[in-house]
Amino acid sequence: MLVGPVFNREVVTTPRTWRLYLSRALYVAALFGLVLTAWLILIGSQQVRGLGDLSRFGSAVFMLLAPLQLAMAVMFSALLTAAAVAQEKDRRTLDLLLMTNLSNTEIVLGKLLASILGVLGQIVAGIALLMLITLLGGISYAQVARVVAITLTAAMVAGSLGSTIALWREKTFQSLALTALCLMAWLLSGEIVASGVLGQHWSNVEAVHWATAISPLRALLAGMHPQDISATAFSWFGGPVYLFLFGAIVATIVINLWAIARVRVWNPTQDVVLREQPAEHLGQQQVSNASAPGRAKKSRNVWDNPILWREICTWAYGKKIIAVRVAYLMIFATCAAALVALLSNESVRYGTLIPEAAKPLVPLMVLGLVLVNALAVTSLTNERDLRALDLLLVTDLTPKEIIFGKLGGIFFNAKEMILLPMALCIVLWHFGHISTENLVFLVIALLVMNTFVAVLGVHAGMTYFESRTAVAVSLSTVLFLLLGVAVCMRMMLAFQSSFTYQLQAFIAFMLGGGVGLFFALGFRNPSRAIFSASLLTPFATFYVITSFLQHSFGAAFLVSIVTYGFATAAMLVPAVAEFDVATGRTTTLEG
């Protein structure tokens, strides 16, 4: 095929694995489960009397599934592609590909399409369910076609972005973090343009229409309507939705052309450069360095915990981690500016479930949790890929020193992602938009959730031997948790009824989530604590959501910290007490 043997191998081998069919079946089953859950909520709260009720239900479910599918496609295509390419670099197998007669096009496009193939397959598998919903009425085939086209093109842009950044950066965390930051910047750029800060009109076109042509979320929301009501804004192109599709295709081509042109410039290893130099030159250079006065470096004092010392006092994640911090600070400055603008706006509503002044905090908190988790899982996978973990295991370091040293380094390197969202919460409290009690609840809950995602990353990095699998499981767990909370709240608000009916409707969905969580966390090294935490967490999260919607913030806070604190302990205690089993040095049968 045109993209070369890298992609050909993936196409030939992937259909032979049971994971391909299982993932597609579970994906469609999960979407269908959401439809059934919404239907149970609907018939439990009101009577369905005619085709009009069915069409309204079909439209509401379509409005629920389309953004969910877009979020999953964009996030997973970007992060999984970045993780796959970064793994090639960590294991030095990318150097072997560059030494072959494969062209840059075959390497870049082959890795991209091979990594994103599973995500694209799931999007295509979901088309059948979307077409089935059209039988209920309320949506048309044209709406489904626009939604699928937007989802596919946005996924291709996100995957190309993740692949290019991973080829550019030298560390896995840098690749994952910069990819997530770029995705957040992409979404925020659309909101900035729509707000009119940069001007209410561009070229005699309203800024809102330009935002639709820029942001995948706004393009999706416009494409879900029966007709593009803003099509007159870009009549020469058919509307802003079609302009977005064209721009996404162009962006995908440009990003991949840039990666093709620079892949061999970004990836010449230092060892190869040194081996290409003459031996006499190397010898003279070594003698000159050894004999140069004043060049001897002073030894540094290592702390009692060398793992913690290395994480804090050295560039354990590469010097380019500064670029991650700078990019995050730019995102933070954007959210802070939006918060200040909302606080100064007297027309902002504060009686809603989530006040408008607090909405700039949501993307910052979500981004922080994802980055902390990515840092945690890569702190172990990088050690394993570089064979440094084996060296640590033969030293006299105790499991407690290794685990808590890693966690201390994670919290230190991610301090901006943890503390800055709390600072904005304090700003809201200072201006009187949240009470002191709710501020304490919010800060403690953020600390608990950051600890949970950090321990989750360490647990996945220790449990799974393949870096790509560890990163996928860890990030997928966090993303599914966040998406599950968002979807659950959206359904409760869209189909308002008694929470008794909603509990009965969600119970099967929560059981499925508990089984999936246990499969991710405890399948390789099962324990009673992880099993209990996996089954308890979905039900406790449902109770937290319902308590929040009923403004019982104290109950939501207590259940949150107890549930996720117990889940954290369920993963942390075996990591320290049964370190050999957790890292795979021995098995429970050998004990």
Q: How far is Cα 154 from Cα 150, in angstroms, rounded to an integer? A: 6
Does the structure show a pLDDT above 50 at 199? yes
CB-based contact 174:89 (threshold 8 Å): no
Q: Is the pLDDT of residue 290 over 70?
A: no
Would you mind telling me the total number of residues written for the chain in this entry? Answer: 591
Mean of pLDDT values over 97-122: 87
Q: What is the mean pLDDT of residues 293-319?
A: 73
Which whole-number Å values give the CA distances from 394 to 152, 388, 390, in the listed order?
47, 10, 7
Q: Which residues contact 393 (CB under 8 A, 6 or more apart)?
A: 583, 585
Tokens of 491: 């359904």
The string of pLDDT tens digits covering residues 532-550 is: 999 999 999 988 988 888 8
Q: In the predicted model, what is the mean pLDDT of residues 187-206?
A: 84
Q: What is the DSSP string of 314-374?
A: S-TT-TTHHHHHHHHHHHHHHHHHHHHHHHT-TT---SSSS-GGGTTHHHHHHHHHHHHHH
Q: What pLDDT is stored for residue 354 in this prediction?
A: 64
H-state helical runs in 169-239: 172-195, 207-214, 216-223
Q: What angle do CA 365, 196, 339 make, to 5 degrees?
A: 30
Q: What is the pLDDT of residue 271?
A: 44
In order, the DSSP letters of 548-591 are HHTT-HHHHHHHHHHHHHHHHHHHHHHHHHTHHHHHTSS-TTT-
Q: Is 312 exposed, middle or buried (0-12, 13-18, 19+ CB in 10 A)?
A: middle
Report d(CA 489, CA 491) in Å as an integer.
5
Distance CA(154)–CA(183), nearest Å, equals: 10
Least trusted range by pLDDT, from 75-79, 398-402, 500-504: 500-504
pTM: 0.87
The CA distance from 86 to 176, in Å, is 9
Give the C-alpha separation, 100 to 118, whole Å: 26
**Element counts in the chain: helices (H) and strands (E):** 24, 2
Q: How confident is the model at residue 90 (pLDDT cuts 50, 70, 90)?
A: confident
Residue 346 has pLDDT above 80, yes or no: no
Nearest to 74 by CA among 190, 157, 192, 177: 157
Contact of 107 with 4, CB cutoff 8 Å:
yes
The DSSP symbol for 202 reads: E
Residue 521 reports pLDDT greater than 70: yes
The C-alpha angle with vertex 218 and arms to 211 and 62, in degrees rounded to 5, equals 165
Residue 61 pLDDT greater than 50, yes or no = yes
- DSSP H helices in 344-466: 361-385, 388-393, 399-413, 415-430, 436-463
Confidence class for position 396, pLDDT limits 50, 70, 90 = confident
Instruction: Quote the Cα angle for 118-124-128, to 5°.
Output: 140
In this structure, are residues 126 and 19 in contact, taking their beta carbons and an 8 Å threshold? no
What is the average pLDDT value for the chain, to the nearest integer? 82
Give the pLDDT band of residue 589 (cuts 50, 70, 90): very low
Angstrom distance (rounded) from CA 328 to CA 490: 28
Relative to beta strand 205-206, strand 201-202 is antiparallel
pLDDT tens figures, 128-180: 999 999 988 888 898 999 999 999 999 999 999 999 999 988 888 889 999 99
pLDDT of 465 strictly over 50 = yes
CA 262 – CA 256 distance, rounded (Å): 10
Give the tokens for residue 486. Answer: 């968002």
Angle of CA points 372, 375, 379, to nearest 5°:
145
Greatest CA separation found in the chain? 92
User: What SS3 state is found at 524?
Assistant: coil
Q: Look at residues 172, 163, 181, 454 and name the one whose alpha carbon lies nearest to residue 316.
A: 172
pLDDT of residue 46 exceeding 50: yes
Answer yes or no: are the C-beta atoms of 86 and 60 closer than 8 Å: no
Nearest to 416 by CA among 181, 573, 113, 158: 181
Across 369-383, average pLDDT: 90
CB 570 within 8 A of CB 529: yes
Higher per-residue pLDDT: 541 or 92? 541
Q: Write out the DSSP string of 223-254.
A: HTSSS-TTGGGGTTTTSHHHHHHHHHHHHHHH
Better pLDDT: 415 or 40 = 415
Q: Is the pLDDT of residue 587 over 60?
A: no
**Which run of H or E residues covers position 86?**
helix 51-90
Residue 258 CB-half CA count within 13 A: 15
Backbone phi and psi for residue 201, each to the nearest 5 degrees, phi listed first? -135, 135
Element (H, E) at 206: strand 205-206
- Among 71, 78, 69, 84, smallest CA distance to 14 is for 84
